[in-house]
């Protein structure tokens, strides 16, 4: 007698097929596709060299232009603040968890509701004290920050590179304060 409901065997086959399909989809998301999106078109997000990992441009980690220490043993060492010819300033550094708990940068994000990454440095700012201006992290055409994202699960003793791009202050401005939420500011010099 046919009750119109699938048998247990049919449901198991369907569940197995769905699980296999999801595994293929998830596995395809992590590939090295050179920055292409799901539609095969190049991504509009800033791509980093493969050796830096996590979408963060490489910085000269031997150079230190500033350092800030925050709660729970988290420290950010700033390596460079470089003015680009395109009208941007890129600040690069390293975040280190010197504490005893896993660190997630959820408090470092901006208050924007459209951001996909909850753990990022999108709340960072550059402050020109003399000109009384605050510069926010730039956004790409999809509204995502031009900064380090996915900054979560930083274990005690672990370090990761971080970066953020800002609109460049006027050329005469050579010194700004770099600020992250929950952290004190660090005065840094902008190099060309």
Q: Which range, of 93-102, 141-150, 169-178, averages the lowest pLDDT?
A: 141-150
Sequence-distant (≥ 6) Cβ neighbours of residue 65 within 8 angstroms: 78, 79, 80, 81, 188, 189
Compute the half-sphere exposure of residue 110: CA atoms within 13 Å on the CB side of its CA. Answer: 22
| Euclidean distance between CA atoms 178 and 184, whole angstroms | 9
Q: What is the pLDDT of residues 36-66, one digit of tens each?
A: 444 443 333 333 333 333 444 556 778 899 9
Q: List, in sequence order, every beta strand (DSSP E) within the chain.
A: 66-69, 74-83, 88-97, 125-128, 133-136, 159-167, 175-179, 186-189
Query: Taking Cα atoms as reference points, which of 162, 173, 110 lies closest to residue 139?
Result: 110
Q: For residues 144 and 117, is the Cβ–Cβ distance under 8 A?
A: yes
The per-residue pLDDT of the chain, averaged, comes to: 76
Q: Which two tokens stand for residue 100?
A: 């005893």
Confidence class for position 150, pLDDT limits 50, 70, 90:
confident
Greater confidence (106 vs 54) lies with 106
Q: Which two tokens stand for residue 124?
A: 């960072």
Confidence class for position 178, pLDDT limits 50, 70, 90:
very high
Q: For residues 151 and 162, is the Cβ–Cβ distance under 8 A?
A: yes
3-state secondary structure of 26: helix
Mean pLDDT on 149-158: 91
Query: Taking Cα atoms as reference points, which of 53, 87, 82, 43 lies closest to residue 162?
Result: 53
Q: How far apart are the first and last CA of the chain?
A: 80
Query: Taking Cα atoms as reference points, which of 128, 83, 127, 121 lies closest to residue 104?
Result: 121
State the pTM of this model: 0.67
Cα 151 to Cα 46, 72, 108, 177, distances in angstroms: 16, 16, 10, 22
């Amino acid at each position: 007698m046919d009750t119109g409901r699938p048998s247990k065997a049919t449901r198991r086959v369907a569940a197995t097929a769905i699980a296999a399909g999801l595994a293929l989809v998830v596995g395809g998301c992590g590939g090295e596709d050179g920055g292409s999106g799901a539609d095969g078109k190049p991504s509009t997000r800033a791509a980093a060299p493969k050796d830096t990992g996590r979408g963060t441009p490489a910085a000269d980690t031997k150079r230190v232009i500033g350092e800030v220490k925050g709660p729970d043993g988290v420290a950010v060492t700033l390596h460079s603040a470089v003015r680009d010819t395109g009208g941007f300033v890129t600040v690069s550094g390293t975040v280190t968890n010197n504490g005893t708990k896993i660190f997630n940068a959820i408090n470092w994000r901006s208050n924007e509701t459209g951001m996909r990454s909850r753990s990022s440095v999108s709340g960072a700012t550059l402050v020109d004290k003399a000109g009384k201006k605050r510069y926010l992290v730039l956004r790409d055409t999809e509204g995502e920050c031009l900064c380090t994202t996915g900054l979560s699960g930083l274990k005690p003793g672990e370090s990761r590179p971080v970066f953020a791009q800002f609109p460049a202050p006027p050329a005469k401005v050579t010194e700004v304060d770099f600020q992250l939420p929950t952290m004190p500011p660090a005065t840094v010099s902008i190099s060309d």
